[in-house]
């Protein structure tokens, strides 16, 4: 039996999207009231919940305190029911630890930590359902949560994964595409300045193709940022109506 | 644009798993028809006046075949008559799932512009997507999806009825239930056969129809000839448990009742299972992947040494049984081999076969037997009304199936190649049979050729070394137009010699990844037939721009050594260059210049220098254990008008042949070392594995018959003992032994250095070797050129070059093409030999016996390079009283004068 055909001759992908099209992106901000900031985000079938606490005083070991800026603490986890086969260990495995580190790096680049010396910001993200692009969905959800918490950022951080098939970059991979032997690249972008907050790729790719792939990823990230911006504005409007301003 | 999404649930075997996938439905998928004004499509595929004249459909119409029609009647769809067809995505996906070869052919058709095949992505269209209903099988859902799409099309096209004189959509299906349901829905639907028969202009298309299952019952008698094949599930469990073995079925060339199944074991080891008798062969065809069951040890047999050809006319099954009886000989216990029977076919490997039609004796019959050109393929029964026209022609036939109650497989006529015995036809047959791509180059390929008039640009000159002042010359066989190598030799001031090998820079013209490159990679090699050449690259390159002709500036890739007079290499360098060859000589001309003491020009001096060095190099090589083997090669002198062979001679070898060869070997070895140093993971190299000792059995036995001993422990020992093997009064003996030794060898193969650890080239006794010197006619050389160019910084790399898996796949193709081209070459020589003898009548020549079989001997006639089987007993003669001795092997006739090798009168062919 032949493998899946990731891109048909007519230019359609497995789920009917074209190469540059993103999945349907929906989000809500302020889903919890206990936390300082929270957001829920769906990108196709990948669903994530992000919660932010802080900035607050350092907890735990004081030795980690930084004198000129805030410490960002990230924790990534996956619900046991998020994948087709039940996950044994929702967090703390190597993959999750790595993902937590990536998130931390991404947000250290975006959040204006120097405004809050000697304090700590906690970002918790949980994947409720996983269908590819977990990292980018987490980043996008966390951005909204950080904004909801009112923590100043240089810009939205938008992330997207792209893959490379038949000399064509595919935006926003779903699980079937990710597992179909595509060399995929994840990129987190500060869209206004076009700065890259994080770029990660662990597949093999010829260097000639790298530029086109990054180009495609940046375009996709800009598309994501537009949607996020809309969500934020919508949320603000609703909030301001409620407070009667 | 994204309309809605639905969830598709899937379960996979081995732990049921729920897979949830998104499925986007779109409203921007267009219908692809010229008449449509509603769809905002950029280009249309389907024509407005789709005219296929059919008595059933008098109006213009588009065809929509269902999956089974595509799978079984792909030959029909390939016909130029059939155009304006809508292939639904549902159908395409099902075909892809069920048969890779058909899928590939379908895709080729879709890409052909003149066929007007349009792929409609119905699964993602808002109006044509349907969900599987509870209780509905996947097949039923797909059939319904096809009907819904056809319905959509007919309604969609109806809106433009005013300006299309009633354009309609016709569904083709062979499934009765599907047809009924479609009719109930008010669709136009026909069976494929009905439709094809209704085509007015093309009655012969009917013959290309594959037999569908309900026709078969008429053909065959009720008698069941073969045991039933096991179902796939049982075969799989059988293979897992070890009771069955899986392997490739290889029919015997000499005996149609015998075959071997090649079972690939774990790692390197593999076993062969012998299959004997029609029942045990059980409808397997050469190259099929089959499951076999071993017979109990007591029923094991030895391979028979009888030569048997299927002479049956289709009805005489008793004959076959009798012949089968002859096979069973009381063989010695040791000679018995694992014997088995085929219990099931895992994968058929049928392709269209070339051959001849045996017209049935009954005049009005439409069923005839077809004899394939390849003796390993069984005869095929086909149905045709054009038997009288097809008799005496070479035709192509595809197998449709082999029911268990039929002696022969059923098939259908694909196309006619032309009259048998005609040169063009026979050439076509042998190219097809050896899978040599020989169509004219497509427009897409030609578009990548440089524009004429072509000249070397100043930019080219900047990047290259200007070697035009050097006295470079080329030495080739007479009539050669694709000259890919040239040489020079001059004395340096320090007393050493500078020797240069200049190879045509084909990689300059063929850039990676374009259509030209892909075509060349697919062809793999140029195929030389007698009087004809099937080029790997278009002629403009092969015979003009890349060919290093004399007195024109050409781009080259040069390998330059500094060598002292003891032929020790002091320095090696590689460079891209521009050269201007001063002379293109033939081997004989070059030889004459060397021998002529009066000549003292630069070219001659250069040749003499080369010749001197070559002799030393050759001696060194032989001391290291390189083999000099022999094979018979004949050359035909062709009549310039009729291109018929008028004379033939065996190839003559001159000093200059080995001179050129020596430097090519040197260049290849130097380049191999360089690219391997630079790219240890992805260098394309060539190896020649040492043969297993058992391969030498025939050689040792043959030598023993003349009391000569041959040592085969190492290449060196073999070379030495071959040199020593001489028999007084029998000068040809040594050559014969060398011919036999050649047959003991393994095939040399290309491989990727990252995928293998054994690089040794046995025949050349070199630790590393590659092909660099003939890029015009071998694709491997182009890759090596590219690697070398990157290594010296003259070119940039590209992804596929560095990917060892892709390169290894390329090597497999090259090895296959190389092997096939050699077979095609031999077949061409054999055909021309027959043409040659057609007008000669009976000749008397000296011949030698190569092998002995139970009822035949295999004889070689060196003068013609001809090898043939001579049967002892033929139909009209009584066989002499022969005693066959398995062990020696030899045949003794109670008359005195049989001796291996004996002189034998050669019969006419």
Size of interface A-B (CB pairs under 8 A): 60
Cβ separation B20–A10 shorter than 8 A: no
- Here the ipTM equals 0.90
Q: What pLDDT score was predicted for residue B218?
A: 43
User: If you average pLDDT over residues B820-832, what whole number do you get?
Assistant: 86
pLDDT in tens, B541-553: 888 888 888 888 8
| Residue of B26, B93, B799 lying closest to A16 (CB–CB) | B26
Cβ separation B21–A176 shorter than 8 A: yes
In this predicted model, which residue has the larger pLDDT, B680 or A228?
A: A228
CATH number of the CATH domain containing B296: 2.40.50.690
Q: What pLDDT score was predicted for residue A100?
A: 95
Residue B681 pLDDT exceeds 80: yes
Is residue A5 one of the residues assigned to a domain? no
Looking at B88-166, list the stretches that DSSP marks H as alpha helix, in order from N- to C-terminal side.
89-98, 100-111, 138-158
User: If you average pLDDT over residues B758-783, what whole number do you get?
Assistant: 89
Check if B816 contacts A (Cβ < 8 Å): no
d(CA A193, CA A109): 13
Q: How far is B29 from chain A (nearest CA, A)?
A: 10
Average pLDDT, chain A: 91
- What is the β-pairing status of strands B270-276 and B339-347? parallel
Q: Record the tokens describing residue A238, joined without a space.
A: 């609703």
User: If you average pLDDT over residues B72-101, what whole number do you get?
Assistant: 87
Residues B631 and B648 in one domain: yes
Residues B770 and B856 in one domain: no
pLDDT in tens, B353-389: 888 888 776 666 677 888 888 888 888 888 887 777 8
Residue B211 pLDDT exceeds 80: no
Cβ separation A45–B21 shorter than 8 A: yes
Residues B40 and B84 in one domain: yes
At B220, the pLDDT band (50, 70, 90 cuts) reads very low
Interface subset of B 14-33, CB within 8 angstroms of A: 15, 17-26
User: If you average pLDDT over residues B212-238, what whole number do you get?
Assistant: 67
Is residue A17 one of the residues assigned to a domain? no
Interface subset of B 732-771, CB within 8 angstroms of A: none
CATH number of the CATH domain containing A51: 3.30.230.70
Cβ separation A10–B23 shorter than 8 A: no
Cβ separation A176–B26 shorter than 8 A: no
Q: What pLDDT score was predicted for residue B391?
A: 81
Cβ separation A2–B17 shorter than 8 A: no
Q: What percent of chain B has pLDDT over 90?
A: 12
Cβ separation B96–A2 shorter than 8 A: yes
Domains: count for chain B? 6
Is residue B808 one of the residues assigned to a domain? yes
Report the residue of chain B nearest A11, measured CA to CA.
Answer: B121
Please classify residue B162 by burial: count the beta carbons closer than 10 Å to its beta carbon, then call 0-12 exposed, 13-18 middle and 19+ buried.
Answer: exposed
Neighbours of B477 (CB within 10 A): 11
User: If you average pLDDT over residues B639-660, what whole number do you get?
Assistant: 70
Chain A contacts to B (CB-CB under 8 A) = 1-2, 5, 8-10, 12, 14-17, 21, 23-24, 44-45, 84-85, 131, 174, 176, 205-206, 208-209
User: If you average pLDDT over residues B223-251, what whole number do you get?
Assistant: 83
User: If you average pLDDT over residues B211-237, what whole number do you get?
Assistant: 66
Lowest-confidence segment of B61-70, B341-350, B353-362 by average pLDDT: B353-362
d(CA B763, CA B881): 43
Residues B357 and B409 in one domain: yes
Neighbours of B673 (CB within 10 A): 18
Neighbours of B554 (CB within 10 A): 24
d(CA A8, CA A6): 7
* C-alpha distances out from residue B50 to B31, B115, B163, B170, Å: 15, 11, 14, 12
Separation of CA B641 from chain center: 31
Q: How far is A237 from chain B (nearest CA, A)?
A: 26
User: If you average pLDDT over residues A171-187, what whole number do you get?
Assistant: 89
- Identify the helix (H) or strand (E) that includes residue B88: strand B85-88
Cβ separation B799–A131 shorter than 8 A: no
Residue B463 pLDDT exceeds 90: no
Q: Give A9-66 as a DSSP string.
A: TTS-BTTS--TTPPPPEEEEE---SSSSEEEEEEETTEEEEEEEEEEEE--S-GGG--
Neighbouring-strand partners of residue B291 = B246, B344
Residue B529 pLDDT exceeds 90: no
At A47, the pLDDT band (50, 70, 90 cuts) reads very high
| Residue of B15, B97, B123 lying closest to A1 (CB–CB) | B97
Q: Record the tokens describing residue A190, joined without a space.
A: 């500060």
pTM for this model (two decimals): 0.65
Lowest-confidence segment of B38-47, B183-192, B589-598 by average pLDDT: B38-47
- Identify the helix (H) or strand (E) that includes residue B609: helix B602-623
In this predicted model, which residue has the larger pLDDT, B695 or A137?
A: A137
Check if B123 contacts A (Cβ < 8 Å): yes
Report the residue of chain A nearest B111, measured CA to CA.
Answer: A9
Number of helices (H), then strands (E), in chain A: 4, 9
Residue B598 pLDDT exceeds 70: yes
Report the residue of chain B nearest A132, measured CA to CA.
Answer: B21
Residue B315 pLDDT exceeds 50: no
At B319, the pLDDT band (50, 70, 90 cuts) reads very low
Is residue B341 one of the residues assigned to a domain? yes
User: If you average pLDDT over residues A92-101, what whole number do you get?
Assistant: 91
Is residue B319 one of the residues assigned to a domain? no
Residues B650 and B763 in one domain: yes
Three-state secondary structure string covering B249-275: EEECCCECCEEEEEEECCCCCEEEEEE
Domains: count for chain A? 1
d(CA B871, CA B879): 9
Q: What pLDDT score was predicted for residue B434?
A: 85
To test the contact with chain A by mutation, choose from B24, B31, B118, B798 the residue with the greatest count of A C-beta atoms within 10 A, namely B24
| Residue of A10, A84, A131 lying closest to B119 (CB–CB) | A10
Instruction: List CB contacts (< 8 A) between B2 and chain A.
Output: 21, 24
Residue A74 pLDDT exceeds 90: yes
Residue B203 pLDDT exceeds 80: no
Residue A226 pLDDT exceeds 90: yes
pLDDT in tens, B781-810: 999 999 999 988 888 888 888 888 888 889
Residue B829 pLDDT exceeds 80: yes
| C-alpha count within 13 angstroms, C-beta hemisphere, residue B516 | 20
Check if B798 contacts A (Cβ < 8 Å): yes
Instruction: List CB contacts (< 8 A) between B1 and chain A.
Output: 21
Cβ separation B20–A131 shorter than 8 A: yes
Is residue A1 one of the residues assigned to a domain? no
Instruction: List CB contacts (< 8 A) between B24 and chain A.
Output: 15-17
Q: What pLDDT score was predicted for residue B307?
A: 66
Cβ separation B21–A14 shorter than 8 A: yes
In this predicted model, which residue has the larger pLDDT, B438 or B642?
A: B438
Q: Judge whether B818 and B525 are in contact, CB under 8 Å.
A: yes
Q: What pLDDT score was predicted for residue B903?
A: 35
E-state strands within B379-519: 380-383, 393-401, 410-419, 465-466, 472-476, 485-491, 497-504
Residues in Cβ contact with B752 at an 8 Å cutoff, skipping those fewer than 6 apart: B682, B683, B684, B685, B804, B807, B808, B811
**B329 torsion bin: left (phi>0), alpha (psi -120 to 50), beta (else):** beta
Check if B42 contacts A (Cβ < 8 Å): no
Cβ separation B96–A44 shorter than 8 A: no
Please classify residue B105 by burial: count the beta carbons closer than 10 Å to its beta carbon, then call 0-12 exposed, 13-18 middle and 19+ buried.
Answer: middle
Instruction: List CB contacts (< 8 A) between A1 and chain B.
Output: 97
| Residue of A9, A10, A174 lying closest to B22 (CB–CB) | A174
Cβ separation B25–A9 shorter than 8 A: no
Secondary structure class of B498 (helix, strand, coil): strand
Q: How far is B655 from chain A (nearest CA, A)?
A: 48
In this predicted model, which residue has the larger pLDDT, B857 or A168?
A: A168
Neighbours of B218 (CB within 10 A): 8
Residue A134 pLDDT exceeds 60: yes
CATH number of the CATH domain containing B846: 2.40.50
User: If you average pLDDT over residues B567-591, what whole number do you get?
Assistant: 89
Residue A204 pLDDT exceeds 50: yes
Residue B876 pLDDT exceeds 60: no
Residues in Cβ contact with B401 at an 8 Å cutoff, skipping those fewer than 6 apart: B211, B213, B216, B409, B410
Neighbouring-strand partners of residue B339 = B274
Cβ separation A8–B89 shorter than 8 A: yes
Secondary structure class of B561 (helix, strand, coil): strand
Phi then psi for B168, rounded to 5 degrees?
-130, 170
Residues B405 and B467 in one domain: no
At B645, the pLDDT band (50, 70, 90 cuts) reads low
| Residue of A2, A17, A45 lying closest to B100 (CB–CB) | A2
Instruction: List CB contacts (< 8 A) between A12 and chain B.
Output: 121, 124
d(CA B430, CA B529): 10
Q: What is the DSSP secondary structure assignment for residue B161, as one 8-state letter?
A: G
Residue A232 pLDDT exceeds 70: yes
In this predicted model, which residue has the larger pLDDT, A26 or B422?
A: A26
Is residue B188 one of the residues assigned to a domain? no
Residues B756 and B874 in one domain: no
Q: What pLDDT score was predicted for residue A69?
A: 92
CATH number of the CATH domain containing B48: 3.40.50.1010
Phi then psi for A171, rounded to 5 degrees?
-90, 145
Residue A222 pLDDT exceeds 90: yes
Is residue A115 one of the residues assigned to a domain? yes
Residues B644 and B611 in one domain: yes
Neighbouring-strand partners of residue A125 = A50, A76
Q: What pLDDT score was predicted for residue B897?
A: 35
Please classify residue B457 by burial: count the beta carbons closer than 10 Å to its beta carbon, then call 0-12 exposed, 13-18 middle and 19+ buried.
Answer: exposed
Residue B284 pLDDT exceeds 70: yes
User: If you average pLDDT over residues A201-226, what whole number do you get?
Assistant: 91
* C-alpha distances out from residue B729 to B706, B734, B860, Å: 12, 12, 19
Residues in Cβ contact with B397 at an 8 Å cutoff, skipping those fewer than 6 apart: B352, B353, B355, B370, B372, B380, B382, B411, B412, B413, B414
Average pLDDT, chain B: 80
Residues B619 and B681 in one domain: yes
Q: What pLDDT score was predicted for residue A153?
A: 95
Q: What pLDDT score was predicted for residue B223?
A: 60
* C-alpha distances out from residue B765 to B621, B664, B691, B711, B712, Å: 7, 15, 13, 17, 14
Residues B574 and B673 in one domain: yes
Lowest-confidence segment of A189-193, B329-333, B511-515 by average pLDDT: B329-333
Is residue B95 one of the residues assigned to a domain? yes
User: If you average pLDDT over residues B632-652, what whole number do you get?
Assistant: 64
Q: What pLDDT score was predicted for residue B881?
A: 56
Report the residue of chain A nearest B124, measured CA to CA.
Answer: A16
Nearest in space to B535 (alpha carbons), one of B525, B546, B544: B525
Angle B568-B572-B574 (CA atoms, 0-180°, nearest 5)? 150
At B565, the pLDDT band (50, 70, 90 cuts) reads confident
Check if B346 contacts A (Cβ < 8 Å): no
Check if B362 contacts A (Cβ < 8 Å): no
Range of the domain at B706: 693-745
Q: What pLDDT score was predicted for residue B788?
A: 92
Q: Is cis: bond before B110, omega within 30 of 0? A: no
Residue B477 pLDDT exceeds 60: yes
Secondary structure class of A176 (helix, strand, coil): helix
Nearest in space to B23 (alpha carbons), one of B4, B39, B41, B37: B4
Residue B900 pLDDT exceeds 60: no
Cβ separation B121–A23 shorter than 8 A: no
Q: What pLDDT score was predicted for residue B192?
A: 85
Cβ separation B802–A206 shorter than 8 A: yes
* C-alpha distances out from residue A33 to A149, B2, B733, Å: 11, 33, 100
Nearest in space to B5 (alpha carbons), one of B126, B139, B113, B146: B126
Residues B451 and B416 in one domain: no
Q: What pLDDT score was predicted for residue B632?
A: 61
Is residue B19 one of the residues assigned to a domain? yes
Separation of CA A125 from chain center: 10
Residue B511 pLDDT exceeds 70: yes
Residues B520 and B592 in one domain: yes
Q: How far is A52 from chain B (nearest CA, A)?
A: 30
User: If you average pLDDT over residues B873-901, what whole number do you get?
Assistant: 47
Interface subset of B 92-111, CB within 8 angstroms of A: 93, 96-97, 100, 103, 107, 110
Range of the domain at A38: 25-241
Q: Judge whether B846 and B901 are in contact, CB under 8 Å.
A: no
At A216, the pLDDT band (50, 70, 90 cuts) reads very high
Residue B563 pLDDT exceeds 70: yes
Q: Judge whether A117 and A70 are in contact, CB under 8 Å.
A: yes
């Amino acid at each position: 039996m032949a493998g899946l055909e990731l891109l048909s001759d007519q230019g359609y992908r497995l789920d009917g999207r074209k190469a540059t099209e993103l999945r349907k992106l929906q989000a809500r901000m302020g889903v919890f009231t206990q936390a300082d900031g929270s957001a829920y985000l769906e990108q196709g079938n990948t669903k994530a919940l992000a919660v932010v606490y802080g900035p607050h005083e350092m907890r735990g070991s004081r030795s980690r305190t930084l004198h000129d800026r805030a410490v960002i603490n990230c924790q990534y986890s996956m619900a046991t029911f998020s994948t087709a086969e039940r996950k044994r260990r929702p967090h703390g495995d190597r993959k999750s630890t790595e993902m937590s580190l990536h998130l931390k790096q991404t947000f250290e680049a975006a959040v204006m930590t120097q405004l809050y010396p000697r304090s700590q910001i906690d970002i918790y993200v949980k994947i409720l359902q996983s269908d590819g692009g977990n990292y980018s969905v987490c980043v996008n959800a966390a951005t909204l949560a950080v904004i909801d918490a009112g923590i100043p950022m240089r810009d939205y951080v938008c992330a997207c994964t792209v893959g490379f098939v038949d000399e064509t970059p595919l935006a926003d991979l779903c699980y079937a595409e990710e597992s179909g032997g595509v060399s995929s690249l994840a990129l987190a972008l500060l869209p206004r300045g076009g700065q890259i907050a994080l770029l990660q790729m662990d597949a093999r790719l010829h260097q000639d193709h790298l530029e086109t792939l990054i180009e495609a990823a940046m375009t996709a990230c800009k598309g994501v940022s537009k949607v996020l911006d809309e969500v934020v504005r919508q949320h603000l409007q609703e909030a301001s109506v409620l407070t009667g301003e | 644009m994204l309309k809605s999404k639905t969830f598709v649930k899937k379960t996979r075997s081995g732990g049921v798993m729920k897979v949830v996938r998104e499925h986007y439905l779109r409203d921007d998928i267009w219908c692809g028809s010229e008449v449509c004004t509603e769809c905002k499509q950029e280009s249309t595929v389907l024509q407005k006046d789709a005219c296929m004249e059919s008595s059933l459909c008098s109006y213009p119409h588009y065809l929509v075949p269902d999956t089974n029609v595509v799978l079984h009647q792909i030959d029909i769809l390939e016909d130029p008559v059939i155009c304006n067809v809508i292939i639904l995505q549902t159908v395409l996906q099902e075909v892809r799932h069920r048969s890779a070869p058909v899928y590939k052919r379908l895709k080729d058709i879709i890409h052909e512009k003149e066929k007007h095949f349009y792929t409609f992505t119905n699964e993602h269209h808002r109006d044509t997507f349907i969900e599987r209903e509870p209780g509905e099988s996947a097949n039923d859902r797909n059939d319904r999806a096809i009907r819904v799409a056809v319905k959509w099309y007919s309604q969609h096209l109806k809106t433009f009825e005013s300006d299309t004189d009633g354009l309609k959509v016709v569904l083709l299906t062979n499934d009765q239930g599907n047809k009924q349901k479609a009719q109930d829905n008010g669709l136009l639907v026909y069976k494929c056969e009905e439709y094809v028969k209704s085509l007015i202009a093309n009655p012969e298309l009917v013959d290309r129809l594959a037999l569908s299952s309900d026709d078969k019952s008429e053909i065959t008698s009720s008698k069941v000839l073969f045991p039933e094949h096991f179902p796939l599930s049982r075969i799989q469990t059988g293979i897992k448990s070890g009771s069955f073995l899986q392997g490739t079925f290889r029919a015997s060339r000499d005996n149609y009742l015998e075959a071997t199944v090649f079972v690939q074991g774990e790692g390197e080891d593999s076993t062969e299972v012998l299959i004997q008798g029609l029942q045990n062969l059980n409808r397997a065809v050469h190259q099929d992947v089959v499951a076999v069951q071993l017979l109990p040890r007591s029923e094991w047999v030895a391979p028979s040494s009888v030569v048997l050809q299927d002479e049956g006319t289709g009805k005489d099954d008793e004959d076959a049984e009798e012949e089968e009886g002859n096979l069973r000989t009381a063989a010695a216990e040791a000679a018995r081999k694992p014997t088995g029977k085929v219990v099931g076919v895992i994968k058929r490997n049928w392709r269209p076969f070339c051959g001849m039609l045996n017209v049935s004796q009954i005049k009005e019959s439409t069923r005839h037997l077809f004899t394939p050109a390849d003796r390993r393929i069984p005869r095929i029964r086909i149905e045709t009304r054009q038997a009288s026209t097809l008799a005496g022609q070479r035709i192509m036939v595809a197998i449709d199936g082999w029911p268990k109650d039929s002696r022969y497989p059923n098939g259908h006529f694909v196309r006619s190649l032309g009259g048998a015995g005609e040169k063009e036809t026979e050439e076509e047959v042998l190219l097809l049979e050896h899978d040599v791509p020989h169509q004219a180059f497509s427009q897409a390929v030609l578009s990548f050729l440089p524009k004429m008039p072509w000249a070397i640009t100043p930019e080219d000159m900047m990047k290259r070394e200007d070697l035009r002042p050097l006295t470079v010359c080329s030495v080739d066989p007479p009539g050669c137009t694709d000259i890919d190598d040239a040489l020079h030799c001059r004395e340096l001031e320090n007393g050493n010699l500078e020797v240069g090998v200049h190879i045509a820079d084909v990689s300059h013209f063929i850039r990676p990844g374009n259509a030209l490159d892909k075509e060349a990679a697919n062809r793999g090699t140029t195929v030389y037939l007698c009087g004809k050449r099937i080029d790997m690259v278009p002629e403009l390159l092969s015979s003009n721009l890349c060919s290093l002709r004399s007195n024109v500036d050409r781009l080259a890739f040069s390998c330059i050594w500094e060598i002292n007079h003891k032929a020790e290499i002091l320095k090696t360098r590689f460079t891209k260059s521009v050269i201007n060859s001063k002379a293109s000589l033939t081997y004989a001309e070059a030889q004459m210049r060397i021998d002529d003491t009066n000549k003292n020009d630069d070219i001659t001096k250069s040749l003499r220098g080369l010749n001197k060095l070559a002799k030393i190099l050759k001696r060194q090589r032989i001391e290291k254990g390189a083999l000099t083997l022999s094979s018979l090669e004949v050359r035909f002198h062709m009549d310039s008008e009729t291109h018929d062979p008028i004379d033939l001679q065996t190839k003559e070898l001159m000093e200059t042949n080995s001179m050129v060869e020596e430097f090519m070997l040197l260049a290849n070895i130097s380049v191999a070392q360089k690219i391997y140093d630079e790219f240890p993971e992805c260098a394309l190299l060539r190896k020649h594995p040492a043969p297993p000792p058992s391969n030498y059995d025939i050689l040792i036995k043959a030598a023993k018959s003349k009391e000569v001993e041959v040592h085969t422990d190492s290449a060196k020992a073999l070379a030495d003992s071959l040199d020593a093997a001489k028999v007084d009064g029998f000068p040809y003996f040594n050559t014969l032994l060398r011919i036999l030794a050649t047959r003991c060898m393994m095939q040399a193969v290309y491989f990727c250095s990252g995928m293998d650890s054994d690089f040794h080239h046995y025949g050349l006794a070199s630790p590393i070797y590659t092909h660099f010197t003939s890029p015009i006619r071998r694709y491997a050389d182009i890759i090596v050129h590219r690697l070398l160019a990157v290594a010296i910084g003259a070119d940039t790399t590209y992804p596929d070059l560095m990917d060892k898996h892709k390169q290894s796949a390329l090597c497999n193709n090259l090895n296959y093409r190389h092997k096939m081209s050699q077979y095609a070459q031999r077949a061409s020589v054999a055909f021309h030999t027959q043409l040659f003898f057609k007008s000669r009548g009976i000749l008397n020549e000296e011949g030698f016996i190569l092998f002995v079989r139970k009822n035949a001997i295999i004889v070689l006639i060196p003068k013609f390079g001809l090898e043939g089987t001579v049967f002892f007993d033929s139909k009209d003669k009584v066989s002499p009283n022969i005693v066959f001795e398995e062990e020696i092997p030899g045949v003794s006739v109670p008359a005195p004068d049989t001796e291996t090798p004996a002189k034998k009168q050669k019969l006419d062919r």
